[in-house]
Structure 1
């Protein structure tokens, strides 16, 4: 069952990512439409669990809460899982965020709301002067989402990741606290 509510927006709620959410994450990230834009290899639930120790970041579940969903852990029937948002290096000067949504939720504005929530939460919880994010040069939807929230393009890491048989450029973005507030 999804975990406790971290923050919520008009439609999207961010909750703690729990063990019971692994099947959703693994199944969704196995989809080539998500895996290739993320640059992630196929990963089993066992491998995901083994690599889960991240003391300097937060994995959050983006979901739609039903009417009966309370602030604590909720029943499966009370939420609809959309995807995840992640912020890492939060103890460093510049946290970096990542995000993805299951394919059936693309184009509905859920990604933008989820990323805005995690940006707002990160600036509220940590004294960081800026937040970074990256997207493959070929991932126009993610780049447009970041730019729509005020992230500025800061550079390109050329041939940064090897995905599906070819090297891909990674576009780097940043958002200063003052530009968000």
Structure 2
């Protein structure tokens, strides 16, 4: 299992790390913790011959989810691009924000890919080889660190052509540090000062 980290600073690439609170999360389990709503184009249709586009518990050689029981997956979806769009997020009250997601690909050939989109930018998470096929080593995860960004417009664009070509996406997490409200630090300091004076009295 591999993990990669990149960063976006108002459109530029930098490096940073953060341990923070959950802002939004989607694990495709239908649980109350799956707070980041999304839409797909086309809508999920389950199994259609050799094609699959749905929330899955397994997808051929992808035998399980990254976490939990389910993941978003597709197989042989054809030449059209399939899109996953998450609701826009206001992160203006947070700092050290990051987006992490996991993906799994099997049998990718030239023209097959998993892309992610972020605030108008489109980047490739995984693609097939010019000749032959390529696959991930089980699930891989990628973290995008954000700086000087007040909102998130995020999604995925996928394309897989071929009955043996398949992918999974799972465990999308947005986390960050909540910025204290103006004056809250001063009020906290004042409160601590009052406590200190009372203790000295």
Give the TM-score normalised by structure 1: 0.29
Taking structure 2 as the reference length, the TM-score comes to: 0.27
Structure having greater relative contact order (Cα 8 Å, sep ≥ 6) = 2
Kindly indicate which of the two structures has a greater share of residues assigned to strand.
2
In terms of fraction of residues, the more helix-rich structure is: 1
Larger of the two Rg values belongs to structure = 2
